[in-house]
Structure 1
Amino acid sequence: MVAHVLSLKLRLLANGFKRSVGQLIGVIIGGLYALGMITMLTLAVWFAADEIPFQGEIFTLIGSAVVLGWAIIPPLLTGVDLTLEPSRFVQFGIPEKTLGPALVLAGFISIPAVLTVVGLLGASLMWRSDAGALMLGLLAAVATAVMAILLCQYLVIMATALRAKRRFRELTFALLFLLLVGLGPIMASVFSAAESMGDWIHPLSTVLGYTPLGAFAAVPGAYASALYGQMAIHLALGAAYLGGLYFLLARATAKAAITPPPQQRAATAKGLGFFKLLPATPTGAVAARALTYWFKDPRYAVGVLIVPVLPLLFWFTGSQSGNYTMMYLMGPLIGILLGFSISADISYDNTAFALHALTGISGRADRAGRVLSCFLIAIIPVLAAAILPGLIAGELWRIPGDLGLSLAALFVALGVSSVSSARYTYAVPLPGDNPMKTPPGSGMRMALTQLGIMLTMGLLLIPVLIPYTIGWFQHSQVLGFITLGAGLVLGTGLVLGGIALGGKWYEKRTPELMQSVMLNK
């Protein structure tokens, strides 16, 4: 049975590449890129092994980072494809003692797992000048990879019941997004606070060496430093952690294989919500429905979360360099990013787009409603980001220009998105999926479509960028007001034109749009 489950995992992995040529190409390119990076780093470690300071501490940090990455990212990415998820074996009645170990071993059959093992083995070559430490380093690399993958499997199974709760999915996505965005500033602050590398690397690696994250990775460093008692402690702790983790995982896997997966509960609503606040017209109805998405659909969360994150990132960058110029570009960036969000509105609708197709709503009303909902969400952040930096800095002359460019960016993004979403659709995460999930085979098409939309926005903003840039260098308030006027005129015209042109394309292509979103299921 174990061999059969492993062969099934291999067959599923191979068949996954046959679903789409684009997916196969993407996997090949990504795999070669990752393998090339690992090879380059391995060669660098090999040739510079004798010159690497704090070898033991660095290897402990590398191992801990790998285990932590496997423990955080896959469990939080609720859209991870688990081809052999234990709950899928509920109806087969396979004995727990057989199925549990088989599924645990099947978790090691994946490209990320193989790359993890290869990368850690390459890192262990920093001990090449010491045969004993090198042997322990190779064994520690394999043991650390096993620890990482087992911990990942266990946490994914434990999170299965929570995935049925929409609030949990939204919260985990928000935490992961903020973690990824803020990781750079956090690490930079830690490094800058320490006067030297030894001030932070030694105490941090010492603590991690006694945890499941770095217990095995700390063994070769202790051996190379002749701390044999400490090495024995790390070995004992690592073995205890690994044994306990395998016991918990086998038990959780066996239990999940006989327990039906939890059912996701449909969201409940009270009252009419935004439908009560907006006009009882086709445009108002579309806007109310879209606003509901903005507040309840986590796939729109990226656009919303970027609003408070951008000022923090730009302020942190300015505090490090002493140059706060980027703070003045928050308004245009927020406007473009929020306006760009509706370019995937129809794709996000998925089968719910049938409501628009069957009711025969006009293209102009559909486009206008979606624009109105995004405008109501974006206008306050855009105005604040355009006015506050100049006001706080006491440079009042720049406020009209910043305001003009920010409003133009928002309006241009809304106009272009109104046209593009009626003409081009691409596969997006399905309702209920993790917002960061990329549907198979859609990466290249999505990237090219989004790149084309962004380039179009940039070209259309040139008439506003010219007086804005000149006014920036000349500190001219007059040119700022010219930028404001040009931004309002150009932006308003493009929004109205985008609604009209997008509405015509929408009406001509409603059947094709319905077919495309059905194919993205």
Structure 2
Amino acid sequence: MVAHVLSLKLRLLANGFKRSIGQLIGVIIGGLYALGMIVMLTLAVWFTAGEIPFQADIFTLIGSAVVLGWAIIPPLLTGVDLTLEPSRFVHFGIPEKTLGPALVLAGFISIPAALTIVGLIGASLMWRLDAAALTLALVAAIATAVMAILLCQYLVIMATALRAKRRFRELTFVLLFVVLVGLGPILSSVFSAALSLGDWVSPIAAVLGYTPLGAFAAVPGAFAAGLYGQMAIHLLLGVIYLGGLYLLLARATAKATVTPPPEQRAATAKGLGFFKLLPATPTGAVAARALTYWLKDPRYAIGVLIVPMLPLLFWFTGNQTGSYAMMYVLGPMIGILMGFSISADISYDNTAFALHALTGISGRADRAGRALSCLLVAIIPVLAAAILPGLITGSFWRIPGDLGLSLAALFIALGVSSVASARYTYSVPLPGDNPMKTPPGNGLRVALTQILTMLVMGLLLIPVLIPYVIGWVQQSQSLGFITLGAGLVLGVLLLLGGIALGGKWYEKRTPELMQAVMLNK
């Protein structure tokens, strides 16, 4: 049975590559890139062996980072390969003692797992000048990789029931997004607060060496330093952690194979929501539906979350460099990003787009409703980002120009997105999926479409940028008012033009759009 499950996993892995040429090419390119980076780092470690400062602490940190990465990123952020998820075997009646170990071993058959093992073995070569330490480092590297993969499998099984709850998925995504965005400032603050490398490396590594994250990775360093008692403690703790984790995983796997997965409850709603607040017109109905998405669909959360994060990042950057000039581009940047976020609206609709296709709603009403919903969400943050920097710093002469450029960026982005979403569709995360999930096989097309859309937005913004830049150089409030007038006129005209053109394309391509979103399943 174990051999059969392992061969099944290998066959599923191979068939996944055959499904899409684009996916196969992407995997090959990504794998070669990752392998190339591992080879380069391994060569660097080989030639600098014995000269790396805080070598023992660095190796502990590397091992801990790998285990932590496997514990966080695959289960919560991008998802993992669930083709052999234990709950899928609930109907087959296979004995738990047989199926559990087989599924645990199957978790090691993946490209990320192989790259992890190779990378950790490469890192262990920093001990090559000491044969005994190198032997311990190789064993520690493999044990650390096993710890990482087992921990990932266990957390995936434990999170299965929670993933059935939409609020848990949304909260997880929000927290991880905030942590990832703020990771740079956090690390920079830690590094700047330390007077030397050892001020932060040694204490952190010392603590991690007694945790499941770095227990094995701390073994060769303790041996090389002659701390044999400490080495024994790290080794014993690592064995205990790994054995306990395996028992927990085997028990969780066995339980999952006989316990049906939890059913997702249908969402309940009270009242008419935004439909009660907006006009009872086709445009108002589309806007109300889109506003509901903005508040309840986590796929739209990226555009909303970026608004409060950008000021924090720019303020932190200014605090480090002593220049807060980036704060003045917050308005146009938020306007562009928020307007761009509706460029995949129809793709996000998925099968719900049938509501628009079957009711025969006009293209102009569809385009206007979607643009109106985004405008209602974005207008307050854009106005605040355009006015507050100049108001806080006392540079009142900047406010009209910043306001004009920001509003122009928002209106132009909405107009261009109204055209782009009616003309181009691509695979996006399905409703209920992880917002960061990347559907296979269309990465290049998505990237090109998004780059071209942003490029068109930037080109159309040039007529407003010219008086803005001149006014900024001359510190002229008069040119700022010219920028404001030009931004409002050009922005509104391009928004109306984008709604009209996008509406015509929408009406001509409604069957093709419906077919495209139906294929994204």
Shorter-chain TM-score: what band? over 0.9
Q: Which residue of 2 aligns with 1:397?
A: 397
Q: Which residue of 2 aligns with 1:145?
A: 145
> What secondary structure is seen at the aligned counterpart in 2 of 1:508?
helix
Q: Which residue of 1 aligns with 2:5?
A: 5
Q: Are the equivalent residues in 2 in contact too, given 1:78–1:169 (CA < 8 A)?
A: no
Q: Which residue of 2 aligns with 1:16?
A: 16
Q: Are the equivalent residues in 1 in contact too, given 2:97–2:254 (CA < 8 A)?
A: yes
Q: How does 1:435-454 map to 2 (within 5 A)?
A: 435-454=435-454
Q: Which residue of 1 aligns with 2:308?
A: 308
Q: 1:329, 1:125 → 2: CA distance?
A: 47
Q: Are the equivalent residues in 1 in contact too, given 2:63–2:120 (CA < 8 A)?
A: yes
* 2:296 partner amino acid: K
Q: Which residue of 1 aligns with 2:510?
A: 510
1:77 Cα shift? 2.6
Q: Kindly provide the CA deviation profile for residues 36-58 of structure 1, in whole angstroms up to 9, marking residues without a partner as x.
A: 11111111111111220000000
Q: Does 1:463 align with 2:463?
A: yes
* 2:239 partner amino acid: A
Q: Are the equivalent residues in 1 in contact too, given 2:368–2:499 (CA < 8 A)?
A: yes
Q: Are the equivalent residues in 2 in contact too, given 1:136–1:219 (CA < 8 A)?
A: yes
Q: Are the equivalent residues in 1 in contact too, given 2:402–2:480 (CA < 8 A)?
A: yes
Q: 1:226, 1:299 → 2: CA distance?
A: 53
Q: Are the equivalent residues in 1 in contact too, given 2:219–2:231 (CA < 8 A)?
A: yes
Q: Which residue of 1 aligns with 2:58?
A: 58
Q: Are the equivalent residues in 1 in contact too, given 2:78–2:436 (CA < 8 A)?
A: no
Q: 1:129, 1:418 → 2: CA distance?
A: 63
* 1:39 partner amino acid: V
1:268 Cα shift? 0.5
CA gap 1:78/1:24 in 2 versus in 1, 3 angstroms: closer
* 2:416 partner amino acid: V
Q: Kindly provide the CA deviation profile for residues 469-490 of structure 1, in whole angstroms up to 9, marking residues without a partner as x.
A: 1111111111111111111111
Q: Mind listing any 5+ residue stretches in structure 1 that lack a counterpart?
A: none
Q: 1:474, 1:219 → 2: CA distance?
A: 63
Q: 1:239, 1:139 → 2: CA distance?
A: 12
Q: Which residue of 2 aligns with 1:495?
A: 495
1:19 Cα shift? 1.1
Q: Kindly provide the CA deviation profile for residues 417-457 of structure 1, in whole angstroms up to 9, marking residues without a partner as x.
A: 00000000000000000000001112111111101101111
Question: Aligned-residue CA RMSD in angstroms?
Answer: 0.7
Runs of 4+ that moved beyond 4 A: none
1:80 Cα shift? 3.2
Q: Does 1:343 align with 2:343?
A: yes
Q: Which residue of 2 aligns with 1:26?
A: 26
Q: 1:307, 1:487 → 2: CA distance?
A: 21
Q: 2:501, 2:469 → 1: CA distance?
A: 30
Q: Does 1:241 align with 2:238?
A: no
Q: Which residue of 1 aligns with 2:289?
A: 289
Q: Which residue of 2 aligns with 1:377?
A: 377
1:79 Cα shift? 4.1
1:81 Cα shift? 3.3
Q: 2:335, 2:19 → 1: CA distance?
A: 37
* 1:518 partner amino acid: M
Q: How does 1:352-431 map to 2 (within 5 A)?
A: 352-431=352-431
Q: Which residue of 1 aligns with 2:224?
A: 224
Q: Kindly provide the CA deviation profile for residues 234-282 of structure 1, in whole angstroms up to 9, marking residues without a partner as x.
A: 0000000000000000010010011111111111100000000000000
Greater displacement, 464-473 / 422-431: 464-473
Q: 1:77, 1:89 → 2: CA distance?
A: 25
> How many residues in Structure 1 have an aligned counterpart in Structure 2?
521
* 2:512 partner amino acid: E
Q: Kindly provide the CA deviation profile for residues 201-220 of structure 1, in whole angstroms up to 9, marking residues without a partner as x.
A: 11110000000000000000
Q: Are the equivalent residues in 2 in contact too, given 1:342–1:421 (CA < 8 A)?
A: yes
Q: Are the equivalent residues in 2 in contact too, given 1:412–1:494 (CA < 8 A)?
A: yes
Greater displacement, 102-111 / 43-52: 43-52
Q: Are the equivalent residues in 2 in contact too, given 1:346–1:425 (CA < 8 A)?
A: yes
Greater displacement, 19-28 / 419-428: 19-28
> What secondary structure is seen at the aligned counterpart in 2 of 1:51?
coil
Q: Are the equivalent residues in 2 in contact too, given 1:78–1:163 (CA < 8 A)?
A: no
Greater displacement, 419-428 / 470-479: 470-479
Q: 1:244, 1:376 → 2: CA distance?
A: 53
TM-score between both structures, scaled by the size of structure 1? 0.99
What fraction of aligned residue pairs are identical, expressed as a percent? 86
Greater displacement, 76-85 / 188-197: 76-85
Q: 1:300, 1:187 → 2: CA distance?
A: 28
Q: Are the equivalent residues in 2 in contact too, given 1:411–1:492 (CA < 8 A)?
A: yes
Q: Which residue of 2 aligns with 1:96?
A: 96
* 1:7 partner amino acid: S
Q: Which residue of 2 aligns with 1:159?
A: 159
Q: Are the equivalent residues in 2 in contact too, given 1:275–1:284 (CA < 8 A)?
A: yes
Q: Are the equivalent residues in 2 in contact too, given 1:303–1:338 (CA < 8 A)?
A: yes
Q: 2:351, 2:367 → 1: CA distance?
A: 18
* 2:283 partner amino acid: T
Q: 1:329, 1:28 → 2: CA distance?
A: 39
Q: 1:214, 1:78 → 2: CA distance?
A: 24
Q: Are the equivalent residues in 2 in contact too, given 1:78–1:433 (CA < 8 A)?
A: no
Q: Does 1:264 align with 2:257?
A: no
* 1:232 partner amino acid: A
* 1:376 partner amino acid: L
* 1:221 partner amino acid: G
Q: Mind listing any 5+ residue stretches in structure 2 that lack a counterpart?
A: none
* 1:96 partner amino acid: E
1:78 Cα shift? 6.3
Q: Kindly provide the CA deviation profile for residues 365-407 of structure 1, in whole angstroms up to 9, marking residues without a partner as x.
A: 0000000000000000000000000110110111111111100
Q: 1:479, 1:406 → 2: CA distance?
A: 15
